[in-house]
Each structure stands twice: as C-alpha cells, then as structure tokens.
A and B are shown apart, each in its own frame.
Chain A
Amino acid sequence: MSVLGHLLDGFAHALTLQNLLLGLLGVTVGTLVGVLPGLGPATTIALLLPLTMVFDPVGAFVMFAGIYYGGMYGGSTTAILLNIPGETASIPTTLEGYPMARKGRAGAALATAAIGSFVAGTISTVVITFLAPGMSAIAKSIQPAEYFSIMVLAFVTVTSLMGDSIVRGLSSLFLGLAIGMVGIDQMTGQPRLAFGVPDLYEGLPVVALAVGLFAVAEAVATAAQRNRQEQPPVKVTGRIGMTRDDWRRSWRPWLRGTAFGLPIGSLPAGGAELPTFLSYNVEKRLAKDPEEFGHGAIEGVAGPEAANNAAFSGVLVPLLTLGIPTSATASMLLIAFQIYNVQPGPQLFDQQPVLVWTLIASLYIGNVMLLVLNLPLIRLWVKLLSVPAALLTAAILTFATLGVYATSQSVFEILVAYGFGLVGFVLRRAGYPVAPLILGAVLGPLMEVQFRRALAFSEGDPAVFFTRPVSLAILVIAAVCLIGPVVLRRRGKISIPAAMD
C-alpha cells in the first residue's frame, strides 16, 4: 500500500466515534494537566499514562497523540502567563511571552503560540508522514555496531545540549543506564544490580521511575519552597486573537521556526531545545527593532513556539523508525509503547501498520482539535492557574500514586516512585538535569542488546565499533559534540541557560 493509502486507512481508524472521543479526551486532559504550573509535557504524560492503559492499543495511542500536543500547548500557556517554563524548550517563550502578557497583550501571545503551533505541527506531520516510511526502510539496513553508535550519539547530544554542565548531564545519564540494568539479564537469566531483592528481579519499573522523577519530585520541590511568595498569574484581558499587524509579524517566524525544529528534531540527536533557542536568536537578529526583544516582541513567541512544536513532531521520526527517544517526552512515549509490548524501531511500520498510521492520522486530528478547542476555552484554562498550590500538589500526588498503583497493584512500586521523587528533587536542587537519567534508563537496555549483538558478530572484538567506517564516523561526530561545547564554553563563546526540566 502507498503512503497515502496507509494514511487514509489510519484516518479511517482515527475517525471512528470512539477514537475521536478518546482524542478529544486526550487533548482536553493533556491541556488541563499541562497548564498546571511546573508540569511540562513529560510530566503530563507520566501522570496520564495509566489512564490510557484501559483502552485497546489503537485507542490508547489516539489519546496519547492528544495528550502529547495538549501537554505541550498547556505548557506554553503557563510560560506566557506565569513566567514558568515547564521544560527547557519553553524558556524563549517566557522571555517574550510574559512581558507581552504584562503589557496586556496576553491574548495575542497565546494566539500566536496556538496558531504557530498548529501551523508548525501540521507542516511537520505532513513531512513525517512521507519521511518516516523512508527512514524506516533505511533503518532496516542498520547493523548492530552502527545502531550502538547512533545511540551513543543520541545520548551525547541530548546530554550536552541540556543543562549547563556536561559532567552533571553525563552523571545523570550513567545513573540512568545503571538503573536500566537492574534486574534479570534477558539473555542469560543472570540477576544484576538486584542486591538479592526479589522485587528487583523484574527491573526497576519505568512507569514508577518516570512518575517519581517528574511528578513526585515537582511536589517535593513545592513543599521545599512553601513560604515562597506566589507569583500571581497575569490576567487575560481583551480579545484572544491577533491584530493584522500581529499576523504580519508572526507568519515568517512560524515558518522559520518550523524549518529549524523539524530537521533538527528528526535527527537521532538533538531534541527540542536547540531549535527553539536557535529560532529565538535568529528572530532577534532579523528583527527590525531588536531593542524590543526582552520587552515582549511577538516574533520571540511565534518562532520558538513553532520550532518547539515542529521539533516535537520531528522527534517521532527517530522514535518510531529507530526506537530512539531524543527527549524526556519521547522517552515517555517509548515507555507507553513498551507497556503495550510494542517495540518501536525498523520493524514497526511492517508489524504494526494500523497502530502507526492511526497514530500519525491522530496527530493531524489532534492539531485541529487543539486549535478549535483551545482558543475559545483559554479563559477556562486560565482559571486553573488560580487553584491554590497546596490543593494542586495534593492532587498531583494523589494522581501519581493512583497511576502507579493502577498499573502495578503493587505498594513496592509506589515506594519506588516516591523514592525517585526524592532523588529527582535532590538532583534538581544540585543542578543535575533529570532528562538524561530517564533517557538512559529507557534506552539503556536496548543499547545493551545492540552492543552485545555487534560483539557477537565480531566474535568479541571491541574494535568493531571503530573499524566499521560508518560506525566510526558517527562516534567521531559524537566525540565532537561532547568536546566542542566544552571548548566553546571555556572560551566564553556560548552560554546555554540552566536546565529547567
């Protein structure tokens, strides 16, 4: 079947009444949770993951597409109105969106974010519709040694791009890799890092890990700064929408943002941080009046929001075709796939055509739903921002616990989630990014499989990673990505804002 045939088939599944309702539910709940301060898209998915598990896989993934976009959209609302970025990629939005809101232009900022996200999301979805099957075909020919090297590259780029210290990022990454190894070795049945605890033989549960690191850690952080004065949200006054002038100033940044976000997001490296910062800087440079930047320039919201959304869609390419997540949010999606015993990777398009194409069709539908629902409903979402922090935190912890318990029926897993909540809180306080940790824990086991396969082919010779030209080239790029930023930072050429995830 051709790409279009597959896509139409996907739409046929996505447009059934049940799946439409699930999509609607996903978008709504995703936005609702994403709007809450401090809850970025990854946290939103972690909290809502268990809710999807009662549906059949196709229905669940339709809902997921909605949650994915809804969580991201909700995050930009918090960035604009509260000056709180839910994740690193939202920082540029706070730089211009919050000043706009304070000047009474919240309506325009929210509108350019929403419409820009829609434009970027739709363009990107069209591109990945045609790009992904091709990538999948290429991915099938990748040998274990190269696969391993690509994963190294993904780890290195994600780690060196997040946060202000590569050493701290790598520490988190290695901790994640170690966590991923806990339990019985799949190939030999040998328990590893389990310390003789039977509960650990099946490995540390990733759902509990993610819920703890994101949701519980956020709650603990709120408790730790209890007496801090709360920033009152900016009131949304006037019309939600853009003037003629806003449109004129927004459409080029939307397209440029898409042009940054989509290609970078589609690489098995990258993620969403780089394109959003790139877009912000380019818009600032191209602006007629660069002085306005920092005081509410609409281009600074339009560009990065489009870049962010395009990158989010692009990230699905390495996730679906290679099984490699390149952001915390993509790791959450990989966990969701694994819950359904679906392993994303080169075989996915052949083995699960209905699932994949329904998911892609749902991305189109989710984008439209968001635009149609959210612009009119924005005032309702904003009301959520006035819920007292104490009740909000209590509710987050309740749902986090419910989610873990519902998936496992195990008190042990609840305790794992709470434990990692504390770990996540401590790490964040000390300036360690959490995203590499979850990435390592999720991707580590897959990486080891490729590592051992490659060495099995070479009969145990570790030189295989360096003697195969493609593998060597990828590793050289990884080394440059690792060392390059260190050198540049030493010379004071670039500065990347501290990790916020």
Chain B
Amino acid sequence: MSTRLVSAGFLAVALVVLAQAFMIPDGGGYQAVGPRAFPLLVGIGMAVVAVIGVVQAFRAPVTREGGEDKGVHWRPVLLLIGALALYAVLLAPVGYWQATTLFFVAVARVLGSRKLVRDLVVGLLLALATYLLFDRVLGITLPPGLIRLAI
C-alpha cells in the first residue's frame, strides 16, 4: 500500500468534508455559532494537512513499504472480506451459532489452517458457548435461526 495513494485518499476525503461543510445551512437565529463553523474549521484544517501530506508523499522516494514485511498478500485479504460480508448478511437469517461456526471455519481456512475437523469442533464449541452465555445467561438476544436449541 503506498503512502502516495493513501495521502491522495486523505485529500479526497478532506474535499468531501469541506464541500459538505459548505452545504450545511447556517440558520444562525439567536445562536452566535451555528452548526457550520466547526465542520468548516475541521474541513479546512484537514485539507491543508492533506495537501502537505500529498506533497511529502510524492517528493519522498518510493522506498517506504510497510516495515519488516514487504508486499501484502491480497488473496487472503479479499477472501477474508468476502467471509466478513457473508457473515454479516447471514447472521440473522441463519442464526448466530450456525453462522458463527461456518464463519470460524472459513476464516481459519483463509488464514492457512488445513485441519478442517479441528476448526469445525473449535468453532462449534466457541459459537455454542458464546451463544448460550449471551442469549441464555446474560439476556442479550442473539438470532436463533432455523435450528433451535433444546436448552
């Protein structure tokens, strides 16, 4: 991930913040300071810092790549993002402990584990334990899903 790209991203966000701040109607009324002043201040500050950041990043030689480790392995990162998105979507319809077990196994596999049975057992135990603790003991309702537990 290059510092250049991220510094440019900051500048883009700063411009969005600034543009949004300008669009806030400042219906002063009897208030000395409306809802626009502080966002404007922050937007301007962010833009100034972001411009300096971009200049610095593009002046510096392209040596800075993380620290001890070089490139990013994008494949596991993308797979992980996929697993996270699926988990968030499936949590409620499938049920907490069911979705969590699957998610646990999937993440472990993405991260290089090849012991499917072990991951399944650990994941299931963890999911059931947290489900019972939160749902039954602490009283925080979690989605039960299709298969209901007898306890």
| Residues from 393 to 438 in A contacting B, C-beta threshold 8 Å | 393-395, 397-399, 401-402, 405-406, 409, 411, 414-415, 418, 421-422, 425-427, 429-432
- Of B41, B77, B85, B126, the residue contacting A398 (CB under 8 A) is B126
Nearest 8 pairs between A and B by C-beta? A174-B46, A390-B111, A430-B6, A390-B113, A429-B1, A394-B107, A185-B35, A460-B32
Are B122 and A175 touching (Cβ within 8 A)?
Answer: no
CA distance A454 to B10 in the complex (A): 30
Tally A-B pairs: CB < 8 A.
189
Task: Tell me, rounded to whole Å, the shortest Cβ–Cβ distance linking A33 to chain B.
Answer: 14
- Of B43, B69, B84, B104, the residue contacting A225 (CB under 8 A) is B69
Are B140 and A54 touching (Cβ within 8 A)?
Answer: yes
Are B126 and A228 touching (Cβ within 8 A)?
Answer: no
Are A391 and B113 touching (Cβ within 8 A)?
Answer: yes
Is chain B's binding surface mostly helix, strand, loop or mixed? helix
Is B13 an interface residue when CB atoms closer than 8 A count as contact?
A: yes
Q: Which residues of A contact B38 (CB under 8 A)?
A: 181, 448, 451-452
Task: Tell me, rounded to whole Å, the shortest Cβ–Cβ distance linking A408 to chain B.
Answer: 11
Are A192 and B24 touching (Cβ within 8 A)?
Answer: yes
Mark B17-55 against chain A: 1 for CB-CB distance below 8 A, else 0: 100110011010001111101110111011001101100
Are B35 and A187 touching (Cβ within 8 A)?
Answer: yes
Task: Tell me, rounded to whole Å, the shortest Cβ–Cβ distance linking A74 to chain B.
Answer: 20
Are B80 and A219 touching (Cβ within 8 A)?
Answer: yes
Task: Tell me, rounded to whole Å, the shortest Cβ–Cβ distance linking B9 to chain A.
Answer: 8
A residues within 8 Å of B by Cβ? 54, 165, 167-168, 170-171, 174-175, 177-178, 181, 185, 187-188, 190, 192-193, 195, 216, 219-220, 222-228, 388-391, 393-395, 397-399, 401-402, 405-406, 409, 411, 414-415, 418, 421-422, 425-427, 429-432, 444, 448, 451-452, 455-456, 458-460, 498
Are A393 and B111 touching (Cβ within 8 A)?
Answer: yes
Q: Which residues of A contact B84 (CB under 8 A)?
A: 216, 397, 418, 421
Are A394 and B123 touching (Cβ within 8 A)?
Answer: yes
CA distance A216 to B37 in the complex (A): 34
CA distance A427 to B3 in the complex (A): 9
Is B98 an interface residue when CB atoms closer than 8 A count as contact?
A: no
Task: Tell me, rounded to whole Å, the shortest Cβ–Cβ distance linking A409 to chain B.
Answer: 8
- Known contacts A393-B107, A393-B111, A411-B89: A178-B13 contact under CB 8 Å: yes
- Of B6, B103, B122, the residue contacting A397 (CB under 8 A) is B103
Scoring A222, A223, A399, A405 by chain B CB atoms within 10 A of each residue's CB, the highest score goes to A223
Are B33 and A455 touching (Cβ within 8 A)?
Answer: yes
B residues within 8 Å of A by Cβ? 1-3, 5-7, 10, 13-14, 17, 20-21, 24-25, 27, 31-35, 37-39, 41-43, 45-46, 49-50, 52-53, 56, 64, 66-67, 69, 72-74, 76-77, 79-81, 84-85, 87-89, 91-92, 100, 103-105, 107-113, 119, 122-123, 126-127, 130, 134, 138-142
Q: Which residues of A contact B49 (CB under 8 A)?
A: 167, 170-171, 174
CA distance A399 to B41 in the complex (A): 38
- Of B33, B109, B139, the residue contacting A452 (CB under 8 A) is B33
Task: Tell me, rounded to whole Å, the shortest Cβ–Cβ distance linking A461 to chain B.
Answer: 9
- Known contacts A174-B42, A224-B72, A391-B119: A168-B126 contact under CB 8 Å: no
CA distance A444 to B13 in the complex (A): 17
| Residue contacts A-B, CB under 8 angstroms, 7 given | A174-B49, A178-B42, A181-B39, A223-B79, A223-B111, A394-B104, A415-B88
Are A418 and B85 touching (Cβ within 8 A)?
Answer: yes
- Known contacts A192-B39, A398-B104: A411-B88 contact under CB 8 Å: yes
- Of A171, A405, A415, the residue contacting B46 (CB under 8 A) is A171
Are B87 and A426 touching (Cβ within 8 A)?
Answer: no
CA distance A171 to B41 in the complex (A): 14
Q: Which residues of B contact A401 (CB under 8 A)?
A: 87-88, 91, 100, 103
Are A224 and B76 touching (Cβ within 8 A)?
Answer: yes
CA distance A389 to B107 in the complex (A): 11
Q: Which residues of B contact A216 (CB under 8 A)?
A: 84
Are B46 and A178 touching (Cβ within 8 A)?
Answer: yes
